[in-house]
Amino acid sequence: MQGSSQDTTPKWTSDLPQLLARHDIIALQEAGPLPARNQEGPFKYVDSTMVGDETVYHYTRNFGTRTSPINRHVYFLETDPRGHRVNLAMVTENRANQIWTVPAQLRSSRAAFGLRYGRTVFFTVHARSRGHGPDVPALVRHIDNPVRAAGYDFAILGDFNREPSSLNGRMPANAHIFRSGRVTQQAGGELDYMIASRNMGRLGLRYQGRLFGGLSADHYPVEFGVIPIRAAAGFQIGSYSNHGGVGERVLDVRKGNSANGTHIITYDSHNGLNQAFRFVQSQHGGGAYVIRSIRTGKCLDLRRGDRSRAGDYVHEWDCQGQRSQDWLVDIWDADPGALGLVNVVTKDCLDVLGNRTGNGRWVGIWKCNGKYNQKWTFEYRGSTLGFDSSQAATNPGLLSPPADAADEPVAADEQTGTSMDAGGSR
C-alpha cells in the first residue's frame, strides 16, 4: 500500500472497499502508520495482544457508509518503528480466534503476524528487499514448525521480494506455492504470492492466484481461489518455464491464424484473443476437456492425431470430436499450485518442447516428468476468483513426477514463532 496514511489516502478509503466484496481475509504490507488507540478516527481501537516480543493492535473500521455499513476488523503490527510507514496489517470479516507472531529472522528484516480462523493460520509478511528476500526460507520454516505442531495449516501471503522459483529446495516439504504467473510489481518481478501447507490438489481443487489491477499501489493485488474451469470468460495458459517482460509467456495460436495445422506456441502476453482459450467438456466424458481458441474457434490437437507420440507438436484443428483433442486438467501432487494438461490418447503432458525459452517456442507433448516446462498457470480472464464447489465436482487427477525430481528441504536453526489466543488487553 506504499505507506498509506490512516485517514486521508484513497488506499484505505477507496482501494480497500474494492477488495472487500469477495475476500474475507486481506493481507497488507506497507500499511502506513499505526492508528491512534482511541474512538475518534475512522479506526476504532478494540484491544492489543502481546505475543512474544511483538504487539498486534486490533481495531474495527466501517468501510461503507453510516446507512450501508461495511464493518471489518483491522489488525496492525508495527514493523517500522522509525518511519511508521512499512507496517503490516490484515483486514478480516470476523474476529480472529488466535493471534500468532514470528520474529524477524535476519538483521534489518521484519517480524510477521498471523490470524487463526478455524484450523488455518493466515500470515501477512513483507520480506527484506535488500538481498532479494533472504529471510524468506527461515521465515517459512519458523511458521511451519510451530503451526504444524499445534495441528493447524498455514497460508502465508505477502511481498516476498523474490521470485517463486528461487525457493525451490529451500522450503519445508509440505510448503506449496500458489501464484498468478504475472509480474506483480510495477518495476518488474513476480514478488507477491502465497505459500501454504495445505495441498489443495488432494482436495480435488484447482487452486491458483490471479492478479488484478485498478488500484493505486506499486504492487498489484493478487487474489487466490478455485479457478472456474468451465467459465465462458476463458483463460490465458502461462508456462512456468518460459518468462517474458510481463510474467509467464502464454499459449498462443501463431499470428492468430485460423488455418488447420497452425502451431501453438508460447509468446509474451498481450491479452489478444489468440491467447485466450475456453475449456469445454468433451463429448467422450471421463472428466476430459477440449481446449478451444476464443479467436479461431478451433481446438488444440496433436500433429498426427491418434497416432501421435512423445515429441510431436500441438497445433489447432477443426473441433470434430477427435479423441486426440481431449485433455485432462490435472494437478502436480508435489506442486499443487501448478496444473498439468495430459492428452487422453497418448497420456503425455503438454510441454514447451526442449524446455526452450523466448517467443515463438513450439508446444508439444512429452512423457510427464514434473519439470517446469510441463507446469502451467491458468490466468482467469473473468472478474474474480472464489470458491465454487461445482468446480470440484469432477476430481482432477494428481500427477506425480519421478522421485528424483523432488526438492529436498533445507534445515536451519533460526527463531521460531509464538501464538496467543485473540482478545488482548485494552
Which amino acid, one-letter code, is at 328? L
Task: Establish if 305 belongs to a structural domain.
Answer: yes
Residue 136 half-sphere exposure toward CB, CA atoms < 13 A: 33
CB-based contact 148:197 (threshold 8 Å): yes
> Are 22 and 145 found together in one domain?
yes
Task: Establish if 258 belongs to a structural domain.
Answer: yes
> Are 216 and 255 found together in one domain?
no
Task: Establish if 411 belongs to a structural domain.
Answer: no
> Are 260 and 162 found together in one domain?
no
> Are 215 and 241 found together in one domain?
no
Instruction: Please report which confidence band the pLDDT of residue 14 belongs to, taking 50, 70 and 90 as the band edges.
Output: confident
Beta strands in 40-188 (DSSP E): 43-51, 54-62, 71-77, 88-92, 98-102, 112-117, 120-126, 153-159, 176-178
Lowest-confidence pick of 123-132, 166-175, 217-226, 368-377 = 217-226
pLDDT digits (tens, 9 = 90+) for 151-161: 999 999 999 99
Instruction: Please report which confidence band the pLDDT of residue 412 belongs to, taking 50, 70 and 90 as the band edges.
Output: very low
> Are 22 and 169 found together in one domain?
yes
pLDDT digits (tens, 9 = 90+) for 255-297: 999 999 999 999 999 999 999 999 999 999 999 999 999 999 9
C-alpha cell at 290: 477440449
Task: Establish if 422 belongs to a structural domain.
Answer: no
> Are 266 and 204 found together in one domain?
no
Lowest-confidence pick of 29-43, 51-65, 390-404 = 390-404
Range of the domain at 272: 235-383+392-402
pLDDT digits (tens, 9 = 90+) for 300-317: 999 999 999 999 999 999
Give me the number of domains the chain comprises.
2
The CATH number given to whatever domain includes residue 142 is 3.60.10.10
Task: Establish if 131 belongs to a structural domain.
Answer: yes
> Are 183 and 100 found together in one domain?
yes
Please compute the mean of the pLDDT values over residues 392-417 and round it to a whole number: 48
User: What's residue 231's pLDDT?
Assistant: 81
> Are 123 and 174 found together in one domain?
yes
Which residue, of 226, 251, 279, is where some domain finishes? 226
CB-based contact 107:131 (threshold 8 Å): no
> Are 247 and 358 found together in one domain?
yes
The CATH number given to whatever domain includes residue 316 is 2.80.10.50
User: What's residue 391's pLDDT?
Assistant: 54
DSSP code at position 2: -
> Are 137 and 264 found together in one domain?
no
Whole-number percent of the chain with pLDDT over 70: 88
Task: Establish if 318 belongs to a structural domain.
Answer: yes
Task: Establish if 409 belongs to a structural domain.
Answer: no
> Are 168 and 263 found together in one domain?
no
Kindly compute the dihedral angle of the four CA atoms of residues 262, 266, 272, 277, in this order, to the nearest 10 degrees: 70
> Are 107 and 242 found together in one domain?
no
User: What's residue 5's pLDDT?
Assistant: 47
Please compute the mean of the pLDDT values over residues 133-139 and round it to a whole number: 97
Check residues 328 and 402 and name the one with the higher pLDDT: 328
Task: Establish if 420 belongs to a structural domain.
Answer: no
User: What's residue 409's pLDDT?
Assistant: 27
Instruction: Please report which confidence band the pLDDT of residue 397 belongs to, taking 50, 70 and 90 as the band edges.
Output: confident
Average pLDDT, the chain: 89
pLDDT digits (tens, 9 = 90+) for 51-61: 999 999 999 99
Lowest-confidence pick of 17-21, 337-341, 419-423 = 419-423
SS (H, E, C) 335-357: EEEEEEEEECCCCCEEEEHHHCC
User: What's residue 408's pLDDT?
Assistant: 23
Residue of 359, 385, 354, 350 lying closest to 250 (CA atoms):
359
